Amino acid sequence: AQSVTQPDARVTVSEGASLQLRCKYSYSATPYLFWYVQYPRQGLQLLLKYYSGDPVVQGVNSFEAEFSKSNSSFHLQKASVHWSDSAVYFCALSPPCVCSWQLIFGSGTQLTVMP
Amino acid sequence: EAGVTQSPRYAVLQEGQAVSFWCDPISGHDTLYWYQQPRDQGPQLLVYFRDEAVIDNSQLPSDRFSAVRPKGTNSTLKIQSAKQGDTATYLCASRGTGAYEQYFGPGTRLTVL
């Protein structure tokens, strides 16, 4: 069965610090992988996506993520966070062989950036 | 290009009442999804359409839930006789033909008292 695990429910960092949000997936092959961000009272916004090729993908607002097949991981990173990055971050996978492109989400990580 | 719009943004009901949620996807997107997001959890797929056809509604939690997309554009999700366990945010998303990404609306936050 496919699943996504985000082991850290809450992460707090200081403004200007580096950030890593962890994501582990379970799937029999290489899925399509996504990171979404959800600001309060808003829908989900796509940060970045991985389909194939270079395991390091760049996204909006200087976010990047690294895919690791050996570790079944897709961690999100940012070199220097800003207070406006405070939000909930969701990792998701989509099985590439299923025509629905259904998204399977992790439980999310609440990021708080302290000024 | 306008994004996915949803209404209402909030709904508060007593148990046993009915409620409908409305979604207008991005123009030209043929695939529409409804997700349920309980508090402090990730979204979970309820149902999805391609044009006006229901492709998969197997994850609707009960027969109290129904969804339609009669003209292949706007969609309505309805809950008959709501229960406290239905308290959640209901998200609509759409996807264009051949694309991988889904675009989400702001959601409807439902509270059942």
Where do the structural domains in chain B lie, given as residue ranges?
5-98+103-110
Percent of chain B's residues with pLDDT above 90: 82
Closest CA–CA distance from residue A81 to any residue of chain B (Å): 23
Would the pLDDT of B106 be above 90?
Answer: yes
pLDDT of amino acid A97? 63
Residue whose C-alpha is closest to residue B72's, from B108, B106, B24, B36? B24
- Indicate if the pLDDT at residue B33 is higher than 90: yes
Selected for mutation to probe chain B from A46, A103, A105 (highest B CB count within 10 Å) is A103
In this complex, which of A4, A43, A107 lies closest to B104 when CB atoms are compared? A43
Distant-in-sequence contacts of B10-14, Cβ < 8 A, 24+ apart: B10/B108, B10/B109, B10/B110, B10/B111, B11/B108, B11/B109, B11/B110, B11/B111, B12/B110, B12/B111, B12/B112, B12/B113, B13/B82, B13/B110, B13/B111, B13/B112, B13/B113, B14/B112, B14/B113
Lowest-pLDDT range, B24-33, B52-61, B83-92?
Answer: B52-61
B25 vs A: CB within 8 A: no
Domain B5-98+103-110 = CATH 2.60.40.10: yes
Q: List CB contacts (< 8 A) between A9 and chain B.
A: 40
Kindly give the confidence (pLDDT) of every residue in chain A, 115 residues in length, as a single tens digit, with 9 standing for 90 and above. 789 999 999 999 999 999 999 999 998 888 899 999 999 888 899 999 998 899 999 999 999 999 999 999 999 999 999 999 999 999 999 987 666 678 999 999 999 999 8
Q: What is d(CA B84, CA B52) in angstroms, rounded to the nearest whole number?
A: 30
> Can you give the CATH number for the domain in which A74 is found?
2.60.40.10
Residues of A with CB under 8 A from a CB of B: 4, 9, 32, 34, 36, 41-46, 49, 51, 90, 92, 94, 100-103, 105-108
Contact A44 B104 (CB under 8 A): yes
**Helix, strand or coil for residue B97?**
coil
CA dist., res. B24 & res. B108, Å (int): 13
Q: Which residue of B has its CA nearest to A110?
A: B40
Domain count, chain A: 1
Residue B93: pLDDT over 90: yes
pLDDT confidence of residue A98: 60
Judged by DSSP in three states, B84 sits in helix
Q: Which of B95, B103, B106 sits opposite A42 (nearest CB)?
A: B106
Length of chain B equals 113
CB-closest option in B41, B43, B48 to A100: B48
DSSP line for A89-109:
EEEEEE-TTSTT---EE---E
